[in-house]
Amino acid sequence: MKHVRDMVREANAVLDCIPAAEAAGLPDDPTVRMVDLRDVRELEREGMIPGAFHCPRGMLEFWIDPESPYAKPEFAEDRRFVFYCASGWRSALSAKVAQEMGLRVAHISDGFTGWKAAGHPVVARPAKGAPGAR
């Protein structure tokens, strides 16, 4: 049996892993799109990185693939995508898949938990129907 810890380690070996402490300026970089992979309940409870795009982990591949009926225009943008989750495990696995699908991608290795611990800004999840809300 292959364990998730091993899968995360393998993903991190081929990814650009960014510690949250070094990620402060990324949300303001016009060449970067921050992608929050957490469950909507996590966003409602804890907030999110300002300007981040929410993509539920279960829809990632479908939203990335331009041939999918669920494709989202955000993933067609010419940007570097920086994924994050709570602790860096879901984002590592997701970033590896997105990289295999052709995106320029990195992930925050210590996740939203590291982001908050570093004292970076957090905002409430946008209201349904607001720009950036899904």
String of DSSP letters for 48-73: B-TTPEE--GGGHHHHH-TTSTT--G
Instruction: HSE, CB side, 13 Å, CA atoms: give it for residue 74.
Output: 22
Report domain extents, the chain: 4-117
Its pTM stands at 0.92
pLDDT digits (tens, 9 = 90+) for 81-123: 999 999 999 999 999 999 999 999 999 999 999 999 999 999 9
CATH architecture assignment, domain 4-117: 3-Layer(aba) Sandwich (3.40)
